[in-house]
Every structure is written in C-alpha cells, then in structure tokens.
Structure 1
Amino acid sequence: MAIRRATQAETNQILQLSGKVMKESSMGYAVNSVQNAYQLFMPVLQKGGYFLIDLENGLLRGWILLAADYNTVKGEVMGNLLSAYVFPKFRRSGVAMDLAIAAINEFKGLGIRTIQLNVFKGNPSRILCEKLGFKPVSTVMELDIQ
C-alpha cells in the first residue's frame, strides 16, 4: 500500500470516477454525473485542494479529497474532507482508515487544528469517522415543497 498525492492525470481519472459513484457516496441523494463531479470538485482543486490516493501494485483502491479554507464561524482556517471513496472489493481492509489518517496528518503538518466533513444519513462510513474522533456539529435538514 502506498498513499500519496494524486498526479494531475490521476486527479482527472478520480473526477471521472467520482461522477460514477455520486449516488452511492451520497446514499442516493445525488445522481451519478461526471459533469456534477467536475462542478462540485473543480473549484476546490483550483483553490489548492487535492486528492490523496491509495495504490497497491499500481491499482487505485480509494481516494480522499482534502481542502483548507477559512471558516468564518470559528474564525480560523479549517481542514475539510470533501470526498472519500474506497472501491467495494477493498472495503473493510483498512484503506479508508489509512486514507483518513494520512489526511489528518497532512492537516497537522499545515498547522490546522480542526477538520470537518459531511456524512450523508445512513452512510456506514460514519462509524469510521466516529472511531477517528469526529463528532456531529450540525444537522442539515431539507423540506421538499413541490
């Protein structure tokens, strides 16, 4: 296993793949759309965000997108984990944990003290987040008013 920053070519590949797993990642909230993945993640990448990837024997096993941004509520620069995905055949093997720890260490190296992420309701990755020490801060609520 090797975790490292994605190259530009790998980033383009991940953007394509992200669009194909949006529905799964969002627990059905979003539709799969490569165009939506680009619209969602390109601004983050253009402002300095980047993917860490997990490779084993040249095979991509998963990724996590990191970004740092000023949080006006807390008045400090905070880390954000904006996209994480592990291919099904590599789940429950520690890939997600290793990626998350690598991301946390990247933020520590930048002097960032707080990291946030969003987990969709029902996503089993919430368990991993809690194991890492993340705790709920707010709840996003929605009302369809057709």
Structure 2
Amino acid sequence: MTIRKATERETREIIRHSMDVLKESSVGHIPEEQEKAQQMISPLLASGGYYLVHTGNGSLQGWIGVGSTIDYYTDKPVGVIPELYVLRQYRKQGIATKLCKEAIARLQQSGYAAVQLNVFAGNSIKQLYGKLGFEEVTTLMQKRLD
C-alpha cells in the first residue's frame, strides 16, 4: 500500500468519480449535477492543488485533495482538504485516516499553521476528523422557505 501524489491518469479517474463524491459528501444538500461536481473540483486543481492517492495491488483505493486558500476571517493562508473519498470496497481499513495524516503532514511541511475542511451535517466522516484533531469553527444554519 502506497500514498503518493496522483498521476494525470489517476486524477482523470478521480474526476470520473466526482458524482459519487458529491452525492455522498453533501448528504443530499447539493443537487446531483455533473456541472456542480466539476465546480467543486476545478478550484483545487486550478490553484495548484493536487490529489494524494492510496493504492494497493495496482488499484486506486482512495484519495484526498490537498490545496490552500486564504482564510476568510483571518486573511492568513491555510491548507485545505476539499475532498476525501475511499472506494466502497476498500472502506473500514484505515485508508481515510492514513490519507488525512499524510495530507496534514504535507501541508505542515509546506509551512501552513492550520488546515481547514468543510463537512456537511449528517456526514459520518465528521467523527474521523474530530479524532484527528479538527475542531468546529463555524456552523452554517439554514431555514428552508419553500
């Protein structure tokens, strides 16, 4: 098992899974549209971000997006993890934890003092992020009017 930066071919494969990632990660909060999935990926890759992949036996098993942005509230640069996904057949093997730890280590080596990510309400991955030391900073609340 290896964690490394994704090749171009692997990045294309990851993009092909964008609808699955959107559906699962947004827990129904975002419309399942290919254009919307692309809008979520494009900023990462356009700004120099990349994917780390977890492979085993020649197969892509999971990935994590790694990038940076400027914190809206502090105006300081921060590392970001915009996407984490493990293919169903490889779940419950610790892959998500390994990917997160590697992404955090790389962002720290790049000099970032903080790493941020967003999690939709109802997404069970929030438990893993808590175990890895992530803390809630803001909560977006919404009331539907239709």
Aligned equivalent of 2:12:
12
Aligned equivalent of 2:126:
126
Residue 87 of structure 1 and its aligned partner are, at CA, apart by 1.4
Residue 72 of structure 1 and its aligned partner are, at CA, apart by 4.0
Q: Distance in 2 between matches of 1:57 and 1:50?
A: 22
Equivalent residues in 2 for 1:1-146, closer than 5 Å: 1-146=1-146
Q: What does the per-residue CA deviation read over 1:8-39, in whole Å, with 9 as the maximum and x for residues that have no partner?
A: 22112111102233111211222433332222
Moved more, 37-46 or 26-35: 26-35
Q: Distance in 2 between matches of 1:72 and 1:123?
A: 24
Aligned length: 146
Q: Distance in 2 between matches of 1:24 and 1:40?
A: 14
RMSD value, Cα: 1.4
Q: Distance in 1 between matches of 2:39 and 2:11?
A: 14
Gaps of at least 5 residues in structure 1 are none
Aligned AA for 2:112? Answer: I
Superposition TM-score, scaled by structure 2 size: 0.92
Q: Percent identity between the aligned chains? A: 37
Gaps of at least 5 residues in structure 2 are none
Give the secondary structure class of the aligned counterpart of 1:82: coil
Aligned AA for 2:40? Answer: L
Deviation beyond 6 Å, 4+ runs, structure 1: none
Q: Distance in 1 between matches of 2:119 and 2:24?
A: 12
**Greater strand share, structure number:** 1
Q: What does the per-residue CA deviation read over 1:103-128, in whole Å, with 9 as the maximum and x for residues that have no partner?
A: 00110110101011111112111111
Aligned AA for 1:9? Answer: R
Q: Distance in 1 between matches of 2:9 and 2:89?
A: 23
Give the secondary structure class of the aligned counterpart of 1:63: strand
Q: Distance in 1 between matches of 2:130 and 2:121?
A: 14
Q: Distance in 1 between matches of 2:37 and 2:28?
A: 15
Residue 67 of structure 1 and its aligned partner are, at CA, apart by 1.0
Give the secondary structure class of the aligned counterpart of 1:68: strand
Give yes or no for contact 1:20–1:34 (8 Å, CA) kept in 2. no
